Amino acid sequence: KYFGYNPEYVHFFVQDMAPAVDPSGQILLEEKGRIATSPNGNGGWFSSMVKAGYLGLLQREGIEWLNIFAVDNVLQRIADPCFIGATVLSGSESGAKVVAKADPQERVGVLCLEDGKPSIVEYYEMTDEMITRREPDGKLSYNYGVILNYLFRTDKLTEILNNSLPVHVVNKKVPYVDENGNLVKPTEPNAYKFETLVLDMIHLHESCLSYEVQRDYEFAPVKNPDGVDSVVTARELLKKNGVTI
């Protein structure tokens, strides 16, 4: 029942898909006559939304900002009024919530400036020198990791709609049908998927407010079955914030 929210304000749309290919570039089949596809990455959200016809809805309703967030952070604060207010008052075209890194090796993308424009560098793209570089006061130069909670102006998104986002190639395990029609379920990565990422949208903006939050109150990612960033650690942080499951 939409948790008591007005159903007229809730809309759904389907994410676009992209084909998967083998190392030689051949498109894989998931079954006879059906191409193996996968979601085209979280960067495809806006074009998919426009394709579903919701751009007109935003304009009719006078919606000026959109809050985009990752679902694997159980402490994510959605439509946080403080974050919205700070971003609007700053005059920035976008906003990104960040946390101070727990350690230099933490696997989070970091917010920085690239050629004078806001940019996010993924952890796997950082060199050892970037990871360990420090400022004169001892703080890490690349210290603030994004928690995938962004604010975007709708008018600016419309301007950049036709800009091409970089395509990230990801090596993954993809089930496929071989030349004999048999279904193969690989145990090792065997194919490439193509994704765009929402973090690349930040670099298409002229400005982005870096909004630091306390990680114990807003960052409990669930990425591993156990250990760091797992269901267990997320449950403990939820309990610390007064939620028991």
For 212-233, write each residue's pLDDT tens digit: 999 999 999 999 888 989 999 9
C-beta neighbour count of 83 within 10 angstroms = 22
pLDDT band at 85 (very low <50, low <70, confident <90, very high): very high
Domain contains 141 = yes
Domain contains 244 = no
Domain contains 239 = no
Domain contains 41 = yes
Domain contains 241 = no
Domain contains 242 = no
191 vs 176: CA distance, rounded Å: 10
Domain contains 45 = yes
Average pLDDT across the chain, whole number = 94
* pLDDT (mean) for 81-108: 96
CATH of the domain at 88: 3.90.550.10
pLDDT at 56: 92
| Percent of the chain topping pLDDT 90 | 88
Domain contains 243 = no
* pLDDT (mean) for 133-154: 96
Q: Is the pLDDT of residue 245 over 80?
A: no
> Who contacts 184 (Cβ-Cβ below 8 Å, separation ≥6)?
175, 176, 177, 178
Q: Is the pLDDT of residue 119 over 90?
A: yes
pLDDT at 159: 87
If one counts the domains in the chain, the total is: 1
Domain containing residue 27? 2-233
pLDDT band at 37 (very low <50, low <70, confident <90, very high): very high
